[in-house]
A and B are shown apart, each in its own frame.
Chain A
């Protein structure tokens, strides 16, 4: 099934599927881009938000058509979630942010449903790409980019709501109190919180999607061991794909909820 039939070993199969399509921009380890991650995520963003925009552009207050009703369900669902957590004016920014996060992460996660080996053949023979990973959220760059963006927004809103002085004050005086003796403890506590938030936020999504991909790869390897392996690999692959529907939606939902929670926490004063 792999494109490199002659040199197929377990490690080369997995390594091949887990290699990014790296384009070096300049010298240095940092100055390169994962072309596959970028192109897939940007295309998915354009397609999904373009579709949303097309539906929304002709939205009427009267009887909605099915497409509009679907988008309204989605938006209503997200608006309800935001309403439950964030108690401020959510319309100008927070609710659209939640919608963006949910939809984008969802479609990027959903790329995991594409059968890896068939897609590898397509990438190789149709697009001429030797290495291509289709799931942007199993690239740690994507999840960190999202989490750090949310992190910066969190700091921005924290400072915007409480002022810079208030933010620094909170850094030293929460959660244990304003006694100077507990300042170091407060500072340490907040520091750990600020570091752990983006880490857990991004690694949770990354880990889930990466693990999902690995399972598919292992099942693909099993399928290459013979007829029994093919049958079981296909059956279990189907089972895992069905279970993966839940993971894909759940992880997108969790990512969105955490985003709302972090932004909402930034708005609350201690």
Chain B
């Protein structure tokens, strides 16, 4: 249990080991650890930023969607308005057309009635003439009684 020169030698060894650790072991490892810490911190910051970006994008897409919906609603409303306008227009056109057709038909009917009356008048005068001939027992001279017949026809 003597204190000998060993103590000096051990102190020297210790000093060399301290120097070696401080110069070659500690700095590179700590540099690597610090670099990794920075890497991780940067990664976390990036993730945070990406999250923020995502939130912004979601907000913007929601805005766009709402805008699009509004626009679509507007378009539908204007379409409906246009459609009712067209229907109204068609209705009024159809009314006009109908009235025109009805007027035409009425005129035609009047004409037909007039023509039928004319025909009927002629036939009635012929019947009256034939009836009168039979009653009188002889031929009636149509020429001699023409003015009378005309008068009768005008009365019918």
Tell whether, in the assembled complex, residue A91 and residue B15 are in contact, meaning their CB atoms are under 8 Å apart: no
* Stretch among A119-127, A137-145, A170-178 lining the B interface: A137-145
Q: Given the known A-B contacts A32-B5, A75-B30, A149-B14, are A92 and B20 also in contact in the complex, defined by CB atoms under 8 Å?
A: no
* Stretch among A94-102, A186-194, A214-222, A235-243 lining the B interface: A94-102
- B28: nearest residue on chain A (CB-CB)? A56
Residue count of chain A within 8 Å CB distance of chain B: 49
Tell whether, in the assembled complex, residue A140 and residue B21 are in contact, meaning their CB atoms are under 8 Å apart: no
* A45 interface residue per 8 A CB criterion: yes
Residues of B within 8 A of A91 (CB): 26-27, 30
Tell whether, in the assembled complex, residue A141 and residue B4 are in contact, meaning their CB atoms are under 8 Å apart: yes
**Chain A CB within 10 A, most for which of B4, B13, B18:** B4
Q: Given the known A-B contacts A99-B21, A104-B14, are A75 and B6 also in contact in the complex, defined by CB atoms under 8 Å?
A: no
Tell whether, in the assembled complex, residue B15 and residue A149 are in contact, meaning their CB atoms are under 8 Å apart: yes
**Chain B CB within 10 A, most for which of A52, A59, A103, A144:** A59
Considering only residues 10-51 of chain A, those with a C-beta below 8 Å from chain B are 22, 25, 29-34, 37-38, 41-42, 45, 49
How far, in angstroms, from A38 to B13 measured CA to CA in the complex?
Answer: 9
Considering only residues 12-40 of chain B, those with a C-beta below 8 Å from chain A are 13-18, 20-22, 24-33, 35-36, 38-39
Q: B4 contacts which of A31, A61, A75, A76 (Cβ < 8 Å)?
A: A31
A interface footprint on B1-13 (CB within 8 Å = 1, 0 otherwise): 1111111111101
How far, in angstroms, from A22 to B4 measured CA to CA in the complex?
Answer: 10
Residues of B within 8 A of A31 (CB): 4-5
B interface footprint on A107-136 (CB within 8 Å = 1, 0 otherwise): 000000000000000000000000000001
Q: Given the known A-B contacts A29-B4, A37-B6, A144-B3, are A149 and B11 also in contact in the complex, defined by CB atoms under 8 Å?
A: yes
> Could you show 21 A-B contacts with beta carbons less than 8 Å apart?
A30-B3, A30-B4, A30-B5, A32-B2, A37-B6, A59-B28, A61-B36, A61-B38, A62-B39, A71-B29, A75-B30, A76-B33, A96-B22, A97-B22, A100-B14, A104-B14, A141-B4, A141-B10, A144-B3, A144-B7, A148-B11
